Structure 1
């Protein structure tokens, strides 16, 4: 017979108690413990597939859609030529020493062109230009004009001489334009050269930090996620992101990290592209970016920085609800329409195809914060 539960006796003899900090159940007061979401791929042994017919059909349709979204051979050659010519001009400027030109420290190709995830129609090559000192508007304008001069001087034919320059009014970037193609020079400097207090002519420090972050993202993708299946998954998700409004809450960086996370099984074997995209939807539907989830750690930030930390609760809920709806549509064969059209997809009402009707998931989060009472002057109190 088990003994009844008793309250602990008071320590009347001043005997030393065991410090609770050494208890295995003690947790520092750092908020809720992040939970791990249900991952179907990790539990594949408990849920074996009946057949792979649907996955094969899904993968073939994804590869077809990827070919449709990829730039033509002519566009790829033109972008590569423009990138090579602009990089050559920047190399010359970094070597030459002149008091009239700002000193350059480095240059890096970043963005979708660097990662191989560019979509047809987006004919832009992003190049991060690292100045030795904090750049200002005059430095950026001089740089753009000098690059144009070098491109014209080294032009082989008249087509290459047709070069223009457009500068952002804040000096954040300079566009080198040739016909329908652009090389966007993103201005930045080293971490040690960023000014804490900027003048009116200085480039904003926040935009400089964003460019440095883009350099880190490009380096991480090249070293860690440079796989064909991951690149295709990113391209497909970017296409869905521009056609399905709620997916706009996911940044390109979040999509890249999610694709890399979903591309490998529990044994670190690379999955085929159809399984990668299915797993991405399953992870979103299970709440990988919901509050309290373990989420995905940002490899380019602090160790405790989660990639969804800047999303609002409402946006997190919208993405999870949308992923649940899309996952049900894909499971019933609706992916043929999702991956074969270019129109915007609206999922606000029930969708019927064949004998199946899919009702969109409803939002769970609601902001019940009441408005503050207004004062006598008619302004809201803060």
Structure 2
């Protein structure tokens, strides 16, 4: 299906104008906080006071939050590694095996959501060159050399996606190495970092609900930066994509990569129970249930009038579909 062809034709001056989007039937949920203004009395809990709940929430927050010592250790290590990588980007010196394009902090430390006991920072290094094993080794050696000049003791090890810089057991930084998107078609699994990580990551994101209602989703490359790709997918299909990704990810975890890639078997593994080395993988049930109801004629007429006044076609937006339970 050519997504660009029909849409481009409709956008021309003689093509009938902009394509209309489905209308959205909105309603405000029943909220006791708002409804107090309309005569509803405020309910009160006589079992415990708000102070007790507040104290419990603060206590739990303190248990989950990293200690000041943990925050200080990870901040110092991340800043030192970031500074070293920035200097290598600007002045690579004798580093000929690779060229750094960008260094970016990501993950829980960057977002301020790090948990107590998980003192790990994440830094993505985007190479302008191909991420060969030799390039990663050379970059790791250069980072180790620069960090040793700071006088602290570090332990650096290769990992599946790059390398890790650890300072005792107090803090560590994961260096995740990738390349610019222009090089993706040139990757060779025999000499570059394995592409299976990207394949697994795509399934993980879909299985986590990337395309479900309320998710940030993915920008539609055919529409623009403010239109999400799931806007054009029905709620039923959103549920099917998520459920299928969850099942395939479980099959993949138990060695069924040939079936997932279509080399063996058929597509029934996404919908039928299968067994992998004694482990039973059962596809999850559908969450979406298509609503079966009719609006009162008066409300339906009013909705159609509002849609026409707003220039929208009658329909239900997938993000507002009531079928998700």
TM-score (norm 2): 0.53
Give CA-to-partner distance per residue, 1:97-150, whole Å, 9 cap, x none: 435341101111110001111001101110011111231111112111211111
Q: 1:99 to 1:124 in 2, by over 3 A?
A: closer
Matched length: 212
Alignment partner of 1:81 is 2:12: no
8 Å contact 1:165–1:175 — kept in the other structure? yes
Q: 1:296 to 1:101 in 2, by over 3 A?
A: same
8 Å contact 1:125–1:183 — kept in the other structure? yes
The 1-side partners of 2:27 and 2:135 are apart by 49
Greater Cα shift, 80-89 or 131-140 = 131-140
The 2-side partners of 1:209 and 1:41 are apart by 43
The 2-side partners of 1:104 and 1:62 are apart by 44
**Which one of the candidate residues 175, 196, 199 is aligned to 1:185?**
175
Structure 2 gaps of 5+ residues are 1-15, 221-227, 248-268, 275-325
8 Å contact 2:136–2:177 — kept in the other structure? yes
Match of 1:63 in 2: 58
Q: CA RMSD in A?
A: 4.5
SS at match of 1:200: coil
**Which one of the candidate residues 305, 308, 316 is aligned to 2:230?**
305
Residue correspondence of structure 1 range 124-203 to structure 2 within 5 A: 124-155=120-151, 160=152, 162-168=153-159, 170=160, 172-180=161-169, 181-195=171-185, 197-203=187-193
The 2-side partners of 1:190 and 1:314 are apart by 26
TM-score (norm 1): 0.45
Q: 1:311 to 1:370 in 2, by over 3 A?
A: closer
8 Å contact 1:188–1:211 — kept in the other structure? no
Match of 2:214 in 1: 296
Structure 1 gaps of 5+ residues are 1-21, 218-248, 255-287, 290-294, 317-366, 373-382
Q: 1:77 to 1:197 in 2, by over 3 A?
A: closer
The 2-side partners of 1:300 and 1:42 are apart by 35
